[in-house]
Chains A and B, each alone.
Chain A
Amino acid sequence: MPDNSALAIRLRDIVKSFGPVQANRGAELEVAHGEIHALVGENGAGKSTLMRVLAGMYSPDSGTMEVDGRDVTGWSTADAIAAGVGMVHQHFMLVPTLTVAENVMLGSELTRGPVLDRAAAEEAVRKLSAETGLAVPPAARVADLTVGQAQRVEILKTLYRGAKILILDEPTAVLSPPEVRELWQVCRSIRDAGGTIVLITHKLDEVIDVSETITVMRAGKTVARMATAGTTPQAIARAMVGRDVALALDAEYMGTPLLPELGAVSALLEVRDLVVHGANGQPVVKSATFSIAPGEILGIAGVEGNGQTELVEAIAGLRPYTGSIALASRDLATLNVRARGDAGLSHIPEDRHERALILDYTVAENLILGQQHRFTRGAALDTPRMLDHARELITRYDIRPDNPSLAARALSGGNQQKIVVAREMARDFKVLLAAQPTRGVDVGAIEFIHARLREARDQGKAVLLVSADLAEVLALADRVAVMYGGRIVALLPRSGATPDTLGPYMTGAERAA
């Protein structure tokens, strides 16, 4: 049992820079033994960096670190693991071709002579599984597991190495609501067994649900520390952003006054029998059929990885498909990405850093990405017109800082997403694909982006909204579809959609459509 008189974790005045970017500038964190501690903040607030410093992956530029009262400033990952500090990352670090037990053992293998003792390994995993409630089949290959199961393997791996302090980096991003509830159960049982948990998140409902103490970070610094019992989501949000914001959770669904009858007006986007194959040749979208009318938002709910990404990318022209996709009655089959854009398709991709933006390009350059052929004079780009375009959008969409010549990399997550939204809304479009439009965006920007989506709908555009955040779908959509296992398993009018009615479809327990 660790010395209880000391704090489990005490980080003081941590400064950490990456080149010109200061991720942490005087961050503090104090976590008591045996508590579930939420570390919250917007994207880019420096939460992950601070935790990677704690886990020994980065060495701080300055500041002190104590674990169990011992000074551990600048230790290594090996030191951290030896001292019982383990981190479960957003991106899993598992070997897909090995079994669960093999992954858990990796680096500390149980052997019989020179041979890996597979049976003993599986038994050890089974035992740990039972103790913690992290149910996974030990002999299954990781490649065959669901995302939720893979995450449990990550946690098991960390616990197996003797972690007493467990850091979870945004663990719920990939989970369905029931899986989230199970995770919280596991967390509580680890805590009850004497473990300490630091939970990185920016979802306020999770914080309220599971944590006991909250530390709020903003812009690389710790700005508040509070007990969960005495606070409200609004207070946390205010600490995160620095001002009052309307929370998406509270946003009531506001139906359009003139939601047209389906069929009365010809649909702007019509998808019929769409099949998309994944990298391994297996179909990942299996015969999806739906249409969206002018002035309608169709929300697609569902746990991530059920074919939503591929569905959107097929419509955008980024993936080959069979079946038909028509935009305003025009078949898109022969059109490439650029031609689809010219035909009236706008696309806010889900992956901001890989797809939507070129981080080393300036704001002005990013604001013409996809329309660069419209900003030319002869072979050259028409720089003055690009800058005019940028200045206008920066003002209209309140992109900060308001410097069009700045690299997109230098902007916060929310402002980066505003670039994408501004660009896609500013072009002449009929159909908007919005995939995870508010992921990793601070609360203030969420509000803004939601308003823009509604605006598009009110102008008679068709909007396809894909979001892993059920609350967001319910707040915006006029109709709600649920994707599971590559199929659209439910297609409900907004009035019939609630978390309770949708939940079973999202987990595959029920099928309707």
Chain B
Amino acid sequence: MNRREFLHVLTAAAAAGMVLPSGPARAEAAAAAFYDAPAFGNVSLLHITDCHAQLKPIHFREPSVNLGIGDMAGRAPHLVAGKFLEHFGVKPGTPEAHAFTSVEFERWAPVYGRVGGFAHLATLVKRVRATRPGALLLDGGDTWQGSGTALWTQGQDMVDAAKLLGVDIMTLHWECTYGQDRVQEVAEKDFAGHIEIVAQNIKTADFGDDVFKPFTLRRVNGVPVAVIGQAFPYTPIANPRYMVADWTFGIREEEMQATVDAARAAGAAVVVVLSHNGMDVDLKMASRVSGIDAIFGGHTHDGMPAPSIVTNPGGRTLVTNAGSNAKFLGVLDLEVTDGRVRDFRYRLMPVFANLLPADPEMDALITRVRAPYEDKLGEVLAVSEGLLYRRGNFNGSFDQLILDALMAEKDAEIAFSPGFRWGTTILPGQPITMENLLDQTAITYPYVTLTAMTGEQIKAVLEDVCDNLFNPDPYYQQGGDMVRVGGLAYSCDPTAPAGRRIGDLTLGDRPLEAAKTYKVAGWAPVSEEARDAGGEPVWEVVARNLRARTSLAAPALNLPALKGVDGNPGLDA
């Protein structure tokens, strides 16, 4: 669909009684109005996060399962589909409803077209900056990983794109999976004088010295603004520790408070945290640390149209989360007088590629970095009959495709695939290209493993990952989704205590036996032993499997039987 067709849809939507006026000229005006965000106050902070190296426009289906447990039940971000629209007051059928939720995704994706793309994002950033002089652009990280070109260039394509986009300050997570030396190299060479990396919670493993500046103090229209960095606290656990062998992370709540106090003492009128904690961790941190005006959150890929307002002993803190895949631009406008924040406006603007012309300079950069790889990226592996997506607490159709391929190619009875939250979406009838497959798999530790595991060990793995997702204390969560499971049926009660959530393990028509050994295929191992053992990159295994199949029926999702979450608004039944 092109821009003209999109505008036509907007007109049709208006005719159907929605908010927009009718007539093509008016539709054009409505499209302009879609991105019309009047400036407010005197300090503006723009936020992107978790773009996962998606330089080109893509489709990305938001989750239809995003359960909140305990205090988090029914609270943002744990709302999906209709409950989400209701909570945030978004009208069904609108472009916003499509951007923020999975509602009738297959119907609306062809209508509203692709989202994101750095050339389109760049146009939006320029447009917003034009009315907000001095605005800072913050990048919450997970920028250098998630595509074939990012992997093959060690993130260089994204480093250059972020500089051209005008990012001022960033923090880290997946960047670290290129190794600490690569991160330091970019920080000291490419980023010098352009982008500052901040992280109050990355220290040297020996003496606990800061690896990066905990915060940076900038003047925005004369107002001193401190931006504190909070990298993903569990990087050495969720990803290979050997990548960051000399660094240690953690949430470091007390040091966060000390950093906030230091920033205020240094004269900051505004203190914000650029965070890769994940939203539940941010919400808890906001309730316990005083003096933060806003936390710009990422990691959990929650596109939140409005901030959560959290009270703490020192006052109130806004907590936002800006989604993923370059799909959104967060804009926070603050009115600051007499050294403190008086009022705010926040918008999370969806990036519709059809409504925002590509920025020529960024477009040229993207074309240039992709040129050497276009042939490889463009290889068609198969055509998908069904919708292929990843995001969701328990499984996604693209993950199922990976699981099926692993079991078939490795002759395994059971397969595990990590609960990553990145990975783009393919519409029914679209070809699956090598680029699409790499969007789901491009990591620096892609080794496929085949392991003999006892039934007891298999259950222990499922329980362990499940606790990382559903521990009632957010500080014990790691922010990924449940490991995807192929071949093995199970039940899951997210509300049960650790070690007692997983049950009814069944392989074929037989119960899984605790002492019996099973062949389990997997990928993305975090241990050094697995790295040294080699193992085929997962994209090669899956590509081989797909090439042998011309057309691909929608995979049958292996989902656990859920218990204890009936009526949970994080579940679109």
Q: Do A and B bind each other?
A: no
